Amino acid sequence: MDRRIDGSRVVLGVCGGIAAYKIAGLTSTLVQHGATVDVIMTAEAERFVGALTFSSLTARPVYTSLWDAPERIPHIRLVREAQVILVAPATANTIAKLAHGIADDLLTTALLAARIPVIVAPAMNSAMYEHPATVENLALLRARGYEIVEPERGFLAERESGIGRLAPEERLFEALANALARGETFRGERVTITAGPTREAFDPIRFVSNASTGATGIALAREAALRGAEVTLLLGPTHLEPPAGVRTLRFTTAEQLYDLALAHAVGSDVVIATAAVADWRPHERSETKLKKSDDDLHVRMVRNPDVLAALGERKGATFLVGFAAETDDHEAHAREKLARKHLDAIVVNDVRDERGFGPGENTLALLWPGDGRRELGTAGKTMLAARLLDAITELRRTR
């Protein structure tokens, strides 16, 4: 009995590929290890294997349509009750639909509604797998944090050898077991994340701010919630939506963030401070819009409170992680900040030419005292959030 699987709730999404029959074996293995398994089959999958095979193995109904018992809203209920969903074999068609948000059957609708980890195991002819459309669709899914269990090279149904064979059962089982274990790493823990820019106004419509969008902190909040944490997100002005299921408190200025952080972050198990807090604010704020004149405008800027340093002073048992957005001499500046603010770790973020801001890719490294260092690599923000939380979990374990 695998302890990671025992007692878990798993959804298997089976698509219309020849490898569909192999999922019967996996289903049986999961049931033998103590999982409760719900199987969703696409209409095309039913051409390859009978639903009865799966319902016999799971001793549960198999779901094949949105419309069998629509009053029970199966697409929402199934993914709410489960901890992880594996799509295997994932056809080129279903991968494309998932990548583009198409929800025209029970499986794709459930996938769109899923806030649980989604694992995708493609299986198809090598020409289909190597087609640029499939390659790009899989890259999109990876960037959004879906785990892809790569297919293998070997004998394909077309009686030729190539890439595209469904990964063997042991790899699918391990991917599920690891996702379930990861889902527990922050169970019951309080995680507070700060995100976004601040705005420091000098009249009712003008302010000093920066290019932060909050995307990194939002991705971290979503990922921490997926791993079972009770997340509080302190979020600055941004057009990005905070993740569902996360308590979000809004701020505009650095002083507001300072107050929120002292009220909500102190005493958390983990604090990750990604917010780009203005170091200065205008000394005076005009109550009315400043009128245009031919004179230069002189705005005297005064120092804002240092949110991260204040959290460092009140650290207690909190694992405190800062972000260092730097344009030069990155590592030296980050290490100096790590020591001065009593942080447990710091993420170095190269922000030359505004890189690192917004929804695209970023390159990060994690540093900790005693010359500790781990490259988090270049990836989308969801993937980087997952890698950072993995690294934090390991660091906390070694304490």
Judged by CB under 6 A, the residue of 11, 15, 37, 87 near ligand FMN is: 15
Judged by CB under 6 A, the residue of 13, 17, 74, 243 near ligand FMN is: 17
Judged by CB under 6 A, the residue of 9, 24, 44, 143 near ligand FMN is: 44
Of residues 92 and 215, the one with the C-beta less far from ligand FMN: 92
239 DSSP 8-state letter: S
What's the CA gap between 399 and 396, in Å, rounded?
Answer: 5
Which residue in 14, 301, 380, 350 sits closest to 172, CA to CA?
A: 14
Rounded least distance, CB 118 to ligand FMN, Å: 15
Q: Rg of the chain's alpha carbons, rounded to an integer?
A: 24
Cis, peptide link before residue 197, omega less than 30° from 0? no
What's the CA gap between 382 and 221, in Å, rounded?
Answer: 10
Of residues 110 and 246, the one with the C-beta less far from ligand FMN: 110
Q: Which of residues 105-124 bind ligand FMN (CB under 6 A)?
A: 123-124
Q: What are the residue ranges of helices labelled H in the chain?
A: 22-32, 51-58, 74-81, 92-99, 106-113, 126-130, 132-143, 169-182, 215-226, 254-264, 307-313, 330-340, 381-397
Tell me the residue number closest to ligand FMN, measured at CB.
Answer: 17
Rounded least distance, CB 91 to ligand FMN, Å: 3
The window from 38-46, 222-230, 262-270, 388-396 that contacts ligand FMN (CB under 6 A) reads 38-46
Q: Quote the distance between the C-alpha of residue 7 and its chain's center.
A: 24
Judged by CB under 6 A, the residue of 42, 109, 194, 349 near ligand FMN is: 42
210 is an active site residue:
yes
Of residues 89 and 217, the one with the C-beta less far from ligand FMN: 89
Give me the helix-helix angle, 74-81 and 106-113, nearest 10°. 50
3-state DSSP assignment of residue 388: helix
Rounded least distance, CB 171 to ligand FMN, Å: 17
Judged by CB under 6 A, the residue of 18, 113, 262, 309 near ligand FMN is: 18
Rounded least distance, CB 162 to ligand FMN, Å: 12
Report the C-alpha dihedral over residues 51, 57, 63, 68, rounded to 10 degrees: 80
Rounded least distance, CB 178 to ligand FMN, Å: 25
Rounded least distance, CB 80 to ligand FMN, Å: 23
| 64 belongs to the binding site for ligand FMN (CB under 6 A) | no
| 232 belongs to the binding site for ligand FMN (CB under 6 A) | no
Determine which one of 93, 137, 178, 210 is catalytic. Answer: 210
3-state DSSP assignment of residue 351: coil
Give me the helix-helix angle, 22-32 and 169-182, nearest 10°. 50
Q: How many CB atoms lie within 10 A of CB 43?
A: 13
3-state DSSP assignment of residue 127: helix
Q: How many CB atoms lie within 10 A of CB 303?
A: 9
- Quick note: the x/- pattern for ligand FMN over 123-152, rule CB under 6 A, is xx---x------------------------
Which residue in 144, 155, 224 sits closest to 184, CA to CA?
A: 224
Q: Quote the distance between the C-alpha of residue 171 and its chain's center.
A: 22
The window from 16-24, 29-37, 197-205, 232-240 that contacts ligand FMN (CB under 6 A) reads 16-24
Of residues 134 and 253, the one with the C-beta less far from ligand FMN: 134
| 45 belongs to the binding site for ligand FMN (CB under 6 A) | yes
Residue 96, φ and ψ in degrees, nearest 5? -65, -40
67 and 105 Cβ atoms separated by less than 8 Å: no
Q: Tell me how far apart the terminal alpha carbons of the chain are, to the nearest angstrom.
A: 30
153: tokens are 């090279």
| 201 belongs to the binding site for ligand FMN (CB under 6 A) | no
| 307 belongs to the binding site for ligand FMN (CB under 6 A) | no
Q: How many residues does the chain have?
A: 399
- Quick note: the x/- pattern for ligand FMN over 73-112, rule CB under 6 A, is ----------------x-xxxx------------------
Q: What residues make contact with ligand FMN under the rule CB under 6 A?
A: 15-19, 42, 44-45, 89, 91-94, 123-124, 128
Please identify every residue annotated as catalytic.
210
